[in-house]
Amino acid sequence: MSLIRTPPRSALQGLRVIEMGQLIAGPFAAKTLADFGAEVIKIEPPEGGDPLRGWRLLQDGTSVWWQVQSRNKRSIALDLRAPAGQDLARKLIAEADVLIENFRPGTLEGWGLGPEALHALNPGLVMLRISGYGQTGPYRDLPGFGAIGEAMGGLRHLTGEPGRLPVRCGISIGDTLAALHGTIGVLMALYHRKAHGGPGQVIDVALHEAVFNVMESLIPEYSAFGAVRGPAGSALPGIAPSNAYRCRDGVVLVAGNGDSIFKRLMTAIGRDDLGQSPDLANNAGRVARVAEIDGAIEAWTLQRSVDEALATLGAARVPAGKVYTAKDIHEDPHYRARDMILRQPTRDGHEVDVPGIVPKLSATPGSLRSPAPRLGGDTDAVLREVGLSDKQIAALRERGIVG
């Protein structure tokens, strides 16, 4: 059954967002706002649209990833490289609250759509600009993708096993972190505008800075001790015990690093000698003997299946879990109970399961209101809304300005 619905109230109802840019960072930020009721108008190039439409696994020629990234949005096909296309963009932006773009710095300025020009047109406009290195600094003009931001931000150096090549986490986490930071910035700027009568402003998010912002103690440790943190596989350096442990039929993750949790963990695995040791009563002591502790835990897990280990650890109130695959997530009752797997129709007549909406708001929850759009599926309707006649739209289409 389709779960497209309109809630009684939406947190961002009445907010109009213009989305420029492609692929991941900018569109993810816009998707987050759209999930909570913002009207998002996505501008795509008439030839081919957003490349994400063709990424990874396709259904009837369209990526199923697209169904997530562009749900709740409208699509207008518009050539922003053409002066007439830029004029149409100005009409849209003049009536918008937010503009999101993730072009290389200087691109909008080259089109006459930089902050100075747009704020003269719409003083309250909030502009979110996501780029590899930010709008300023010596690297601003270099091309930057999420993978490069993850490396420069310090994340890639910590991923993988010691002595081996760094690995990526398997998703475009740098882009998503930048998108989430950008979304936070948009909401803060909107609050400032409404609560304090402030003007619109520019939110400058660099991919590597978004990654760097979540790197915890990396720089303080280097500053204070000259310590360069390195990769540690599945362990969490300086925190013990917290690791992955082999079972007969798989792997369990155990986070037994709280003082009282550690004692319960040791009791559960039959090692009260370690749990009651004064030397291991706090984290510093456990870190000094982490190899011994990890060995004791894995000696216990190797004798058990994943399910048996989790049952025992759960009964002891020790945080533990298995490594979920897509199949595990899809079949898990907790995901279903919290509406984190939703059935969404597509414009091509299919239905596909997609991730639910985060966070959960009690009074104004997010919702799936419309499927991801076809390329240019809303061009005519949107242009009519800003005053163009059908004849004008047809003339622009003949010139290739709109699709």
Q: Where are the domains of the chain?
A: 16-214+332-398, 242-246+251-322
Please compute the mean of the pLDDT values over residues 197-225 and round it to a whole number: 97
Could you read off the pLDDT of 70-123 as tens digits, one per residue? 999 999 999 999 999 999 999 999 999 999 999 999 999 999 999 999 999 999
The pLDDT value recorded for residue 4 is: 65
Query: CB under 8 Å to 247, separation ≥6 — which residues?
Result: 301, 302, 304, 305, 306, 308, 309
DSSP letter at 322 equals E
Task: Give rounded-to-5 percent helix, strand, coil for the chain.
Answer: 40, 15, 45
Q: By C-alpha distance, which of 273, 357, 375, 271 is closest to 34?
A: 357
Query: CB under 8 Å to 360, separation ≥6 — which residues?
Result: 338
CA 25 – CA 148 distance, rounded (Å): 13
Please compute the mean of the pLDDT values over residues 280-286 and round it to a whole number: 97
Rounded to 10 deg, the angle between the 25-35 and 173-196 helix axes is: 50
E strand or H helix at 179: helix 173-196
The pLDDT value recorded for residue 302 is: 98
DSSP per residue over 130-144, as a string? Answer: EESS-SSSTTTTS--
Is the predicted pLDDT of residue 6 greater than 80, yes or no? no
Is the predicted pLDDT of residue 16 greater than 90, yes or no? yes
Q: Could you say which of 3.30.1540.10, 3.10.580.10, 3.40.50.11540, 3.40.50.300 is the CATH number of the domain covering 242-246+251-322?
A: 3.30.1540.10
* 3-state SS record for 212-273: HCCCCCHHHHHHHHCCCCCCCCCCCCCCCCEEEEECCCCEEEEECCCHHHHHHHHHHCCCHH
Query: CB under 8 Å to 233, separation ≥6 — which residues?
Result: 160, 161, 162, 244
Classify domain 16-214+332-398 by CATH architecture: 3-Layer(aba) Sandwich (3.40)
The pLDDT value recorded for residue 1 is: 45
Query: CB under 8 Å to 92, separation ≥6 — which residues?
Result: 18, 41, 43, 76, 382, 386
DSSP letter at 371 equals P
Could you read off the pLDDT of 33-56 as tens digits, one per residue? 999 999 999 999 999 999 999 999
CA 348 – CA 100 distance, rounded (Å): 28
Please compute the mean of the pLDDT values over residues 119-146 and round it to a whole number: 96
Could you read off the pLDDT of 242-269 as tens digits, one per residue? 999 999 999 999 999 999 999 999 999 9
Report the half-sphere exposure of 230 (CA within 13 A, side-chain side).
Answer: 6
Could you read off the pLDDT of 322-376 as tens digits, one per residue? 999 999 999 999 999 999 999 999 999 999 999 999 999 999 999 999 999 999 9
Contact 85, 5 (CB under 8 A): no
* Amino acid in the structure at residue 93: I
Question: Structure tokens of 30?
Answer: 């816009």
DSSP letter at 54 equals G
Strands 62-63 and 58-59: antiparallel
Q: By C-alpha distance, which of 147, 131, 139 is closest to 205?
A: 131
Query: Which of 1-5, 118-122, 222-226, 307-311 is least confident?
Result: 1-5
Contact 211, 153 (CB under 8 A): yes
The pLDDT value recorded for residue 7 is: 63
CA 357 from centre of chain? 12
CA 7 – CA 366 distance, rounded (Å): 8
Integer CA distances (angstroms), 390 to 245, 268, 376, 394, 396, in order: 65, 73, 15, 6, 10
CA 342 – CA 348 distance, rounded (Å): 18
The pLDDT value recorded for residue 340 is: 97
Q: What are phi and psi of 303, to 5 degrees?
A: -90, 5
Please compute the mean of the pLDDT values over residues 304-323 and round it to a whole number: 98
Contact 127, 118 (CB under 8 A): yes
Q: What percent of the chain has pLDDT over 70?
A: 98
Catalytic residue among 50, 175, 294, 378: 175
Question: Structure tokens of 330?
Answer: 């899809």
Residue that the structure tokens 């590899």 belong to: 132
Contact 127, 201 (CB under 8 A): yes
The pLDDT value recorded for residue 198 is: 87
CA 125 – CA 115 distance, rounded (Å): 9
Same fold, 16-214+332-398 and 242-246+251-322: no
Is the predicted pLDDT of residue 2 greater than 80, yes or no? no
The yes-or-no answer on residue 87 being catalytic is no
